[in-house]
Homo-oligomer: A and B are copies of this chain.
Amino acid sequence: MSLVRSRAIAAKAPDPTRRNQQSRQAILRAAFELCSERSYEGTSVEAIAARAGVGKQTIYRWWPSKGAVVMEALNDVVGAASDFPDSGDVIADLRRQMTAVTTLLSSPDFGPVYTGVIGAAQSDPAVAEALAAQIINPRVDACRKRLERAREAGEIRADADLDAAVELLYGPIYHRLLLHTRPPSAEQVNTVLELAFTGLGPARA
């Protein structure tokens, strides 16, 4: 899985065996650094090439756009989607994972780069596709698998739509993150879990 993971967006043609791995690393590193220092929008392909000590053509040979480069750089930073922990207590496991996410998103190094890429995805379908395929879906899948085990264990209603459940849990975090109403936080995670598992409705029976 992880072998193909980080190349879907980069399908451009030339012989990958001749690729200079030092240049590739320098480019990804420069891209992430520049996005952290300035911002996603404030980072140009020219600047990435200059910082990496690389010709612009070397970037355009292997990636279709700035978004694709930063996408891949981001993916290198966060690493592969690991499976969810399974302690037997689904709420504790979700709390752990979701809290880690809000912490990462609040990091000044990572958060703005990530939201920058999501911003770029709104106007660049290739970035949007790569974002969903490489970053979001693997993590949604890992979460849904954990929820499936919880459902089998009776911790979750038997009739729950688990894809929708993942969106119900993470949606509020992205709502805050992307609409800039207030920052996501560990405290929010607790509230969301409580509401989502107990339900908004009045106590039943």
Hey, which bits of chain A sit against chain B, CB under 8 A? 39-42, 115-116, 118-124, 128-129, 131-132, 136-137, 140, 154-158, 160-161, 164-165, 167-168, 170-176, 178-181, 188, 191-192, 195-205
Cβ contact within 8 Å between A197 and B199: yes
A197/B195 contact (C-beta < 8 A), A122-B115, A180-B132 known = no
Cβ contact within 8 Å between A200 and B123: no
Q: Bound complex: CA of A201 vs CA of B170, how far in Å?
A: 17
User: 8 pairs across A/B with beta carbons < 8 Å?
Assistant: A119-B121, A137-B181, A155-B202, A156-B202, A167-B175, A170-B171, A196-B196, A198-B201
Q: Bound complex: CA of A201 vs CA of B41, how far in Å?
A: 42
Q: Bound complex: CA of A192 vs CA of B39, how far in Å?
A: 35
Identity of the chain B residue whose Cβ is nearest the Cβ of A158 in the assembled complex? B202
Identity of the chain B residue whose Cβ is nearest the Cβ of A173 in the assembled complex? B171
Identify whether the interface residues of A are mostly helix, strand, loop, or mixed.
helix
Cβ contact within 8 Å between B179 and A132: yes
Cβ contact within 8 Å between B201 and A157: yes
What's the nearest-Cβ distance from chain B to residue A133, in Å? 9
Q: Bound complex: CA of A69 vs CA of B183, how far in Å?
A: 25
What's the nearest-Cβ distance from chain B to residue A97, in Å? 15
Q: Which residues of B contact A201 (CB under 8 A)?
A: 155-157, 197-199
Cβ contact within 8 Å between B122 and A164: no
Q: Which of B40, B157, B174, B196 contacts A202 (CB 8 A)?
A: B157
Q: Which of B129, B170, B203 contacts A180 (CB 8 A)?
A: B129
Identity of the chain B residue whose Cβ is nearest the Cβ of A191 in the assembled complex? B164
Q: Which residues of B contact A202 (CB under 8 A)?
A: 154-158
Cβ contact within 8 Å between B168 and A168: yes
Q: Which residues of B contact A128 (CB under 8 A)?
A: 180
Cβ contact within 8 Å between B115 and A195: no
Q: Which of B136, B167, B191 contacts A161 (CB 8 A)?
A: B191
Q: Which residues of B contact A161 (CB under 8 A)?
A: 191, 195
Cβ contact within 8 Å between B122 and A181: no
